[in-house]
Amino acid sequence: MNEKLDLDEIERKIYREANSDGIMELLLGILLFFMAGTWARSYFTVFLAFIPLYGNRVIEALKARFTYPRIGYVEFKQEEASIGWGILGYVLAVIAIVSIVAAVFYGGNLEKLDVYRWVPLALGAIFLGGMIYLHSKSGDPAVYLYSFVTLVVGGIFTFYGLEPTKHSIQFYLLSLAGFFLMAGMIRLLTFMRRNPVVVVPDANE
C-alpha cells in the first residue's frame, strides 16, 4: 500500500489501450486520401469540410461498434484550450524552418524557389509534431514508426522525388494514406483478435 502510483503513466496506458484499435490510423488514412484529392479535384474539399462537423461522431460510432464492447469505455479529460495555440505556433515554426532550409538549399537565390518541392517536407514535419504529441499522451511505440515514415517520406519527395509539381504533393499524400490505411487495418484486426467480445450470461437464465 506504500507504493506510489504514477497517475500519469496509468492514464497513458489507458489512453494507449483505448487507441490501439487502429481507428485513428484508418481515419487519418481517409483524411489524407481526401487531402490528396483536393489537389486533383477541388470538389473533394467538400468532404474535408465534414470532418470538423462530424469527425467526432464518426469516431464515437466506430468505437461503440468495435472498441467499447471489448475493453469498456473511459472518458478522458478535455484538452486545454491552449493546445490549439500550441499547434498553430508549431505549424508556423515548421514553415519558418523549412523556408530557411529552402533558402540555404538555393544559396539564398529565392527566385529559384519551387514551393511545390518543399511542401512534402513541411507536411512531414507537421505530422511529426502531431505524432510526438500523440506519443506523449499514449507512450505507444508504434508512433515512432509513424513519425519516421511521415518525415522520411516527406524528405524523399522533397530531395529525391519526381519533378516538383502539385502532383508530387498528391503522390506524397496518397502514399501516406495507403500506409495509414494498411496500418489501421492491421491494428484493428489485431485488436479484435486480442480482445474478443465476451458474452455475459443472463443472471435470470
Give dist(CA 36, CA 44) in Å, integer: 9
Give dist(CA 138, CA 141) in Å, integer: 9
Alpha-carbon separation of residue 180 from 19, 23, 24, 74, 77 (angstroms): 14, 10, 9, 25, 27
What's the pLDDT band for 30 if we cut at 50, 70, 90? Answer: confident
Please report, for the chain, the start and end positions of each structural domain, with discontinuous segments joined by +.
11-194
Q: Residues 147-182: pLDDT tens digits?
A: 889 888 888 888 876 565 667 788 888 999 999 999
CB 26 within 8 A of CB 184: yes
The CB density around residue 172, as the number of other CB atoms within 10 Å, is 26
Rounded (5°) CA angle 185-186-188: 65
| 22, pLDDT greater than 60 | yes
- Residue 95 CB partners (closer than 8 Å, separation 6+): 122
Strands (E), the chain: none
| 48, pLDDT greater than 70 | no
Give dist(CA 135, CA 16) in Å, integer: 9
Q: Residues 123-134: pLDDT tens digits?
A: 888 888 888 888
Residue-level pLDDT at 156: 87
Residue-level pLDDT at 1: 47
- Residue 60 CB partners (closer than 8 Å, separation 6+): none
Cα R_g (the chain), whole angstroms: 20
Closest by Cα among 128, 134, 138, 145 to 179: 145
CB 91 within 8 A of CB 126: yes
**Residue 56 identity:** N
Return phi, psi of residue 141, to 5°: -65, -20
